[in-house]
Chains A and B, each alone.
Chain A
Amino acid sequence: MTRYVLRRLLQSVAVLLGVSILVFAIIQLVPGDPIRAALGQQADPETYAALRERAGLDDPVPLQFVNWLAGAATGDLGVSFRTGETVLSQILARTPATLSLAGAAIVVALLIAIPLGTISALHPRSPVDWFASLSSQAGLSVPDFWLGILLILLFAGTLGWLPSSGYTPFTEDPVDWARHLILPAITAGVSSGSILTRFVRSSVLESLGQDHVRTARAKGMRARDVLTWHVLRNALVPLVTVAGVQLAYLLSGVVVVEYVFAWPGLGQLAFQAVESRDYPLLQGTVLLFAVIFLVVNLVVDLAYARLDPRISYRSAR
């Protein structure tokens, strides 16, 4: 088990190196001058040259990369061109907002997907099933920003129940944190929920047809217990993988939703980094997203082994 985790971590390092090289190369291809972007068009040529020099932008590209990599390996992701703060501190400042939103959104997604997917699998081709497939189709098709604006209009505008935008840290005011979280979490959770609903439906349907479900019924178990312990329990195993991917997606910043709700998360940070050609910040956030995907996938695989005893990482060498 420990060996397995170690091997996976080692693989992750290789993946991260690849991602870094790729992102570095792509940034070089993007037109635009970051110093120009930071200083504006009327900047004094000497200041401009000095800044370029300090940022190392006059070095050959491979050398720039090696310098960045050497820093990254020690936890130093560089300094933002625009604000002059370290990239790491900016990322850390945005992390709680993103964790709140992603966590709440995946909860919303599962609260939609598990009941709706299960009910429609239990009654295939019924009106409920029809409603579920129609609404998950709608949830997938509706653009996030539109749904967000609609929710703001209704709950913040007309009804005035919830704030329209902004973020309050949990540590400052938990109630206000929750009030601000509800609308963006629903907006971000609906599309994940729609994807997961379809998955839960097919997974439960498959689970229902298993021989061991028939055995459970033949034992004389109550229908509810059969559903919980033999249908849902087994359908949960593959759901963990798909939900994990959705969570990783939500964690790596839901740019549009964060933009609509003025949510100070990582997606917004990455968006700003692109806008202002802030290379170190962009490089740092993309690296972080890669780390998030790798960590979530590792956790999912480990959870898999807990949920399905047939999977053992001990034998895998």
Chain B
Amino acid sequence: MSSPPTDGAPLLSVRDLQVSFRTRRGPARVVNGLSFDVHAGCTLAVVGESGSGKSVSSLALLGLLPDAVAEVRGSAVFGGDELIGRTEEQLRRVRGAGIGMVFQDPMTSLNPVLTVERQIGEALRAHEKVSDEGVRSRAAELLTEVGIPDAASRLRAFPHQLSGGMRQRVMIAIALAGNPRVLIADEATTALDVTVQAQIIELVARLQEEHGMGVVWITHDLGVVAGIADHVLVMYAGRCVEEGAVDDLFDRPEHPYTRGLLGALPVVDDPRPARERDDLVTMPGLPPDPVDLPAGCAFHPRCPVRADARCATEVPPLAAVSADHGEAHRVATFYAGGDRA
């Protein structure tokens, strides 16, 4: 996998995205200043535990969070237009047609009482006038494109009559219906069997190549990331704690959290002594409560290193790692245990 091209404008550019939910206990700060770019033909993997804010950020971009409780700030520029603070109708035009989404559980994400044809048809009709015959033929094409055999008869099927993998292919067909330039796959393989996961990953990779889409792959599964991503962004408590080109980040993770996530994977050529590695393999504790985020680095209560007095008082800035890393490799930690200058 190569680094993302730094030339050319990104399709989607998110800057300092902040999302908080009003709760009875006070505001829950779920996303706290997230920035990333999505480039055509590249895959950005957003990695983190559940509750790290990765799904919420993508829903926030498209205005899919409930207005009554969610407050979204920051900037997200897509195709030259700002998305944050836009009206429902302006966002509706972007949904599906500009940015497509595939969700986690294809069983619940599809309407159980409507046929596959109807559900794909809705996505086609949302952005242009299409005749009934037009919908049928285009829907059949889409099903064929996502690898569903016998498309014509599958169109009449209801979701419960399809297998899990098949349902997720239908979801992908729906996401493709609007010809989006960016595809966000939100834990799209999490609810599926491992063999089916591989097929879906392969399918998305093929579609990305054919359509030249930018893909945001949201997952907690680093195994998935290694195979498909160009660029990886690791999230913790609503912040990016480390990002970089996939090879760089996997080979030389800097942040104790990233190292913890990678701890389960075998590390080849680790120069550090075995004792230190063992310390980083397990991560006791839970992600912090977004209503009551710890002061300083949000990870510091769980951090096995806590190398600096500032950990508990100051939020470490996201800064470039030394020059011998890829230029896109940035990390937010006071810990300089790696080879950082």
Contact = CB atoms under 8 A, between A and B. Distances in A.
Interface of A: 210-212, 214-223, 225, 229-230, 233-234, 237, 307-310
Contact of A215 (B113, B158, B174, B178): B174
B158 A310 contact: yes
Smallest CB-CB A-B distances: 8 pairs: A220-B96, A220-B95, A211-B108, A220-B126, A219-B123, A212-B111, A309-B158, A218-B101
B88 interface: yes
B95 A212 contact: no
If over half of A's interface residues share one DSSP class (helix, strand or loop), that class is named, otherwise mixed; here it is helix
B113 A307 contact: yes
A135 B101 CA distance: 41
B240 to A, nearest CB: 24
B81 to A, nearest CB: 15
22 contacts: A210-B108, A211-B108, A214-B64, A215-B103, A215-B109, A218-B64, A218-B95, A218-B103, A220-B95, A220-B127, A221-B92, A221-B96, A222-B92, A225-B122, A225-B126, A229-B111, A229-B114, A229-B122, A230-B111, A233-B113, A308-B112, A309-B113
Contact of B110 (A212, A217, A221, A233): A212
Contact of A220 (B94, B109, B158): B94
Contacts of B146: none
A308 B127 contact: no
A125 to B, nearest CB: 9
B310 interface: no
A220 B90 CA distance: 10
Given A211-B105, A229-B122, A220 B178 contact: yes
A271 to B, nearest CB: 42
B122 A219 contact: yes
A211 B122 contact: no
Contacts of A211: 103, 105, 108-109
B22 interface: no
Given A214-B103, A218-B62, A218-B96, A234 B178 contact: no
Contacts of B62: 218
B326 to A, nearest CB: 33
B190 to A, nearest CB: 13
Nearest to B107: A211
Given A214-B103, A225-B122, A309-B158, A219 B177 contact: yes
Interface centre among B92, B96, B103, B111 (most CB of A within 10 A): B111
A223 B87 CA distance: 12
B160 to A, nearest CB: 5
Contact of A214 (B96, B109, B114, B160): B109
B93 interface: yes
Contacts of B92: 220-223
Contacts of B93: 220
A164 B178 CA distance: 59
Contacts of B160: 309-310
Given A211-B103, A310-B158, A220 B123 contact: yes
Contacts of B126: 219-222, 225
Given A211-B105, A220-B123, A308-B112, 9 more contacts: A214-B64, A219-B96, A220-B94, A220-B127, A225-B126, A229-B111, A307-B113, A308-B113, A309-B112
Interface in B276-319: none
A211 B174 CA distance: 14
Contacts of B233: none
